[in-house]
Chain A
Amino acid sequence: MARESIGRVHFSLGDAARLGYDHIKRRWSRAAINIASIALGLSFYATLVLSDTFYGTYERLGGSQLSVESYQYWLVGVALVVSVVGITNAMLIAVYERYKEIGTMKCLGALDRHIILLFLVESSFQGLAGGLAGFLLGLAAAVASTGFTTGFDIALKVPPLQMLTLFTGSVALALTLSMTATLYPAWRASKLRPVEALRYEL
């Protein structure tokens, strides 16, 4: 084998997505905890921004002026940080459980960045699911809490474009938080040397 004949290894985003999807499906309970963690933190955030929006819409349509207390945004911040820490922790445990598998993947040709890609893709799936669930929960909570003053059909009176912006923003936030929380665990996983990873017995 001449050195020039050495080629390159491959692992596309699509490959990572397929493998990540299999992992989430098969290890559903772990993924579910992460998704719930994101969903809870995010629902808190969504409740607040949606309530604010509903009050704004109510006022614009001739109702009295109401608003969300600003200290509540502090609480939301805390809730989001807590969910990031929770996911980081859960992902570190997931890496630990998957030592052998990571070592095996490296034997089959995986590069460090392929391992990072796989973990980030998994966490983005979880972030999307958590964001979606969190937004819906938040929507229900916001309608329930503002409905008595603004009317329960208030959500329908918000301009659709504004609603869409809030939705996209919430899901993007969930995605960002979930991926941020996974950066360190994924990096740790990628740096595992195959020998250490393979020697490891759970």
Chain B
Amino acid sequence: MSYDYVIELRDLNRHYTMGEETVKALDGVNLEIKRGEYVSIVGPSGSGKTTLFNLIGGLDKPTGGSVFIDGVDIAQLDAYELAWLRCRKIGYIFQSFNLIQVLTALENVALPTVFAGVPREEGLRKAQHILESVGLGTRVHHRPSELSAGQQQRVAIARALANDPSIILADEPTGNLDLNTGMEIIDLLHGLNKTKGLTLVAATHDLKMIKASDRIVWMRDGQIERIERG
């Protein structure tokens, strides 16, 4: 069975209680995202973008409401199923790349295939192929410390693609990059969204990134303020 919405958020809340005070990082968020859509999440600092990223990605648990991925309420999944979801269904891209420093670009990209149970040779071959497709074919044996920021983010994108996920989640993917490098990363992500039909959800401050998207979700104080067509 195939669902219309690859991501569905129902009355999603994430509250933090600190002593007397309750911080409503997310407060009643409802959103449906279609397969192949490119959605930008925009809003001032502290508006709840990262919190939303974490909840959609199954990295944090909501205080209330539900996240459905391909029609499955992820709160119902046990630790094993959740790990599989993170491994196979979702690719994560972070502002600070989060590459494993001791591994080469190739090994970083192959790591998710290890968790997916792909035989080593096949995983490495696939990683090589993906790295070539993101323009890093000649840098595969370099470690993150030997790569530029833009190249590191390319490795991170390649790693996010390693298990052919249907969703790419990105939290400020251009936040640590200069203008031109940021532009290249946006083009790369946008291209993946268009050519592979990947659903792309990106929290961002970057106007260039927003412009390329199908829909723009404006957040304020943990709520969706408005949704615009791109």
Interface residues of A (CB under 8 A from B): 1-3, 6-11, 15, 19, 22-23, 25-27, 100-101, 103-112, 114, 193-195, 198, 201
Contact = CB atoms under 8 A, between A and B. Distances in A.
Interface residues on B, range: 35 or more
A1 B102 contact: no
18 contacts: A3-B81, A6-B77, A6-B81, A8-B84, A9-B116, A10-B114, A11-B114, A15-B114, A23-B102, A26-B101, A100-B98, A108-B112, A109-B88, A109-B112, A110-B83, A112-B79, A194-B54, A195-B54
Q: Which among B54, B85, B87 has the greatest number of chain A C-beta atoms within 10 A?
A: B87
Interface string B113-139: 011110000000000000000000000
B86 interface: yes
B60 A11 contact: no
Contacts of B87: 9, 108-109
A198 B83 contact: no
B76 A3 contact: yes
A106 B70 contact: no
B70 A1 contact: yes
B72 A1 contact: yes
Q: Which among B69, B79, B83, B159 has the greatest number of chain A C-beta atoms within 10 A?
A: B83
B1 interface: yes
A135 to B, nearest CB: 29
Contact of B59 (A2, A10, A100, A195): A195
B33 interface: no
